[in-house]
Amino acid sequence: MASPAGVGAAVAGAAVVTLLSAALAFYGPPLDAVLKRAFSLHKAHSIKDMENTFQLVKNIIPPLTTKKHKGQDGRIGIVGGSQEYTGAPYFAAISALKVGADLSHVFCTREAAPVIKSYSPELIVHPVLDSPDAVHEVEKWLPRLHALVVGPGLGREEALLENVKDGLWLIAQQPTLIQGYQKAVLTPNHVEFIRLSEAVLRDPVDSSDRRGAVLRLSQALGNVTVVQKGEQDVISDGEQVLECNLQGSNRRCGGQGDLLSGFLGVLVQWALHAGPEKTNGFSPLLVAAFGACSLTRQCNHQAFQKYGRSTTTSDMIAEIRPAFSRLFET
């Protein structure tokens, strides 16, 4: 993945409309207490800084006004979806819409497209990833997109990976796929982090120091933002390290990382668009990543209150609206 011309940002993983109900709004400890546990910063930063970080997420959320036209609050592209995996790109694309993007595109394989379309009429689905002209087919849409989420359900088929890599290469016109592209965010899970880190740093990961490990990987990638997902989400841009501990649940159904990537695609665009005065000089991508992690965990928490062991990612999607409201609109 690299800097796509015309696209504001890229996220790689590899991102209900009812009013907040009383039942959802006020269970658990008061929001202040929840938020205080939600994050801790690397040594140099104070508790006050941490609280401010949450305020910064609120600052980047664009107001809903009558003056806007369709597309202004986010046109997001998801590159993923293969024969085996149709759920992952759907989760990312629908979560982007539900968090507030106006348009959500999925670029997937021919076989995956009708399946993904049938999940939702809201998604715009392009069956191009395995076509001989895949690079051009994706490239022509890029000037119209604000952010790309690359990876959900891409699988590992060589030809598919080659198309995606080549496409980003062409668009980026950069010598490497990711190195130094500071508008990118990588969201590896535990296993993906170890694989990536060991490939880049050529050293075993020190699992006793997650913050240091994430910081080092980000630095080695030229300050690409890295979100290491897990019991705590550890986020770094190579200069600072944030940790998101917001209470989720112990339910680990598949697809939660896909939800996070869809949120992130939207929040990254909002943060970059809001400008440095809204993020108070803080890295917009760190603010966006913190917001996306918090929202994922809050959706998980709320869904688990209702469904317990039966919680699935679709249940989390139904919680996006009340979770967003609880975290960012109170």
Ligand X SMILES: Nc1ncnc2c1ncn2[C@@H]1O[C@H](COP(=O)(O)OP(=O)(O)OP(=O)(O)O)[C@@H](O)[C@H]1O
| Interacting residues with Mg ion (CB under 5 A) | 13, 257
Using the rule CB under 6 A, is 299 a contact of ligand X? Answer: no
CB neighbours of residue 38 within 10 Å: 23
- In angstroms, give the least distance from the CB of 19 to ligand X: 25
**Residue 87 binding result from ligand NPW, Mg ion, ligand X, none, given CB thresholds of 5 to 8 Å by partner type:** ligand NPW
Q: Measured from the CB atom, is 13 or 127 closer to Mg ion?
A: 13
- Separation of alpha carbons 47 and 37, rounded Å: 10
Q: Is 19 helix (H, G, I), strand (E, B) or coil?
A: coil
Q: Compute the distance between CA of residue 68 and CA of residue 214 in angstroms, rounded to an integer.
A: 38
Q: Which one of 58, 117, 190, 273 is in contact with ligand NPW (CB under 6 A)?
A: 190
Who's near 183: CB < 8 A, 6+ residues apart?
Answer: 3, 8, 9, 10, 268, 272, 285
User: Running DSSP on this structure, what letter comes out for residue 141?
Assistant: T
In the complex, least distance from residue 189 CB atom to ligand X, rounded to whole angstroms: 3
Q: Interface with ligand NPW includes 315 (CB under 6 A)?
A: no
Judged by CB under 6 A, does residue 230 bind ligand X?
A: yes
CA-nearest of 268, 302, 318 to 95 is: 318
Q: Under a CB-based contact definition with an 8 Å cutoff, are residues 296 and 92 in contact?
A: no
Taking the C-alpha atoms of residue 155 and residue 152, their distance in angstroms, rounded to an integer, is 8
Contact at 8 Å (CB) between 233 and 191? no
Residue numbers 256-275 binding ligand NPW by CB under 6 A = 257-258
Is 268 annotated for ligand binding? no
Residue 191: CA atoms inside 13 Å, Cβ hemisphere, count? 2
72 is in an annotated binding site: no
* Residue 308, marked binder: no
Name beta bridge partners: 227: 235
11 CA to centre of own chain: 6
193 carries a ligand binding annotation: yes
Q: Does residue 302 bind ligand X (CB under 6 A)?
A: no
Nearer to Mg ion, 60 or 178 (CB): 178
Nearer residue to ligand NPW within complex by CB, 88 or 288: 88
**Interior CA angle at 103 toward 273 and 133, to 5°?**
105
How many residues bind ligand NPW (CB under 6 A)? The answer is 17
Q: Which residue is nearest to ligand NPW (CB)?
A: 87
84 near ligand X, judged by CB under 6 A: no
Instruction: Tell me the residue length of the chain.
Output: 330
> Any contact of residue 154 with ligand NPW (CB under 6 A)?
yes
- Taking CB under 6 A as the criterion, the residue among 38, 57, 76, 88 binding ligand NPW is 88
248 binds, among ligand X, Mg ion, ligand NPW, none (CB under 5 to 8 A by kind): ligand X
The residue among 193, 304, 194 whose CA lies nearest residue 256 is 304
Task: By CB under 6 A, name the binding residues for ligand NPW.
Answer: 14, 85-88, 152-155, 189-191, 230, 254-255, 257-258
Provide the annotated binding site for ATP: 229-233, 248-257
| Residues contributing to the annotated binding site for (6S)-NADPHX | 153, 189-195, 258
